[in-house]
Amino acid sequence: MSTTDILILASVFGGVMGVFVVVGVLVQRRSGARGTDRWAVGRRKEVTSAPPVATQKRRRRKRPAGEPWTVRIARPLGALWRLGDTSQSQVQELLVHAGIREKGAVEIFLGAKFALALALPAAAAAFFMWRANHMGVRIDYRNMFMAGTIALVFGLMAPIMWLRSKARKRIERIRLSLPDALDLLIVCVESGLGLDAALVRISNEMADVAPELSQELQLLNLEISAGKPRQECLRNLALRSGCDEVEALTARINQAAKFGTNLGNSLRIHSESLRQKRRQEAEERAAKTSVKLLFPLVFCIFPAIFVVILGPAVVSLLEYLGS
């Protein structure tokens, strides 16, 4: 490969990366301006005065013990990606809904996204160079630029799509396991247990059947035992779960506690409404089945049936006309 090819390749790669940086920063700023940082509630206020230089150096030297090298690489890349937006509330919300609550999860996710967006165009360019060197094919820079752009878009979209899919599946599992948890809660409350003790019992009993809901209830119990008001803890549960049914349940519990109504009756009514909603959704999906089967019936099954039924008659007719 000549020097001219290397320069052209470097310019193509630089152009792709320039488009990536400009689009990424614009998207990040736009999403940060529209999003509300709901997850900043309860955080400690940042100290305006800067710590001493010696303290800053000691903090920089400290690293978590046993941290993988991939995480150490992803953190600075995530910090670079966060130049366009400082809140990252949408990513943090998706991570919480997906059950990823480790410290620095936002930076690690953004760093992995940035690394993937860098690696895929580089891999596409390396493939074109390898094919030119080993197969003797001339490098088509237009195709290389198109492949690099497609790889860049895929690297930007694939992580967020995976995260949204993971969060959606977890929310669906919480929603499906909520009526059973409500039944257990009704039994515990009507048998004489308090609400806090009933939540502890349900979180322990449903650890194997519904681990996602059990984990959320355990976090709720930890917050209550730490001394937070129950209303705030229930609001945090609704935010963490991302499920509308859980939000309605927490509102019903807060309303029953505020007005002094019977909690067991309120929970029973809510459980019946959830089951009725699930029954209606099942009926709706069953009604849509006939419409969804129309396309494969018309374009896949009917032509095969016509060929099997009318094929021999058509062959006999052609033979008769030919003779």
- Radius of gyration of the chain from its Cα atoms, rounded to whole angstroms: 29
pLDDT, residue 16, reads 57
Residue 27 in domain: yes
pLDDT in tens, 94-149: 888 888 888 778 878 887 888 888 888 888 888 888 887 777 777 777 888 888 88
Low-confidence ranges of the chain (pLDDT < 50): 25, 27-29, 31-37, 39-62, 83-87
**288: buried, middle or exposed (CB in 10 Å: 19+, 13-18, 0-12)?**
exposed
pLDDT, residue 31, reads 47
pLDDT in tens, 30-59: 544 444 445 444 443 333 444 444 444 444
Q: Into how many domains does the chain fold? A: 2
Residues 27 and 153 in one domain: yes
Can you tell me the distance from the alpha carbon of 122 to that of 137, in angstroms, rounded to the nearest whole number?
Answer: 19
The residue out of 142, 169, 196 marking a domain boundary is 169
The residue out of 169, 203, 237 marking a domain boundary is 169
Q: Which domain holds residue 227?
A: 171-284
Residues 177 and 196 in one domain: yes
CA 11 to chain centre: 35
User: What is the dihedral sign for C-alpha 17, 20, 26, 30?
Assistant: negative
Residues 102 and 123 in one domain: yes
pLDDT, residue 115, reads 81
Residues 16 and 131 in one domain: yes
Contact by Cβ (8 Å): 106, 95: yes
pLDDT, residue 261, reads 77
Can you tell me the distance from the alpha carbon of 254 to that of 260, in angstroms, rounded to the nearest whole number?
Answer: 10
Residue 311 in domain: no
Residues 71 and 117 in one domain: yes
pTM above 0.85, yes or no: no
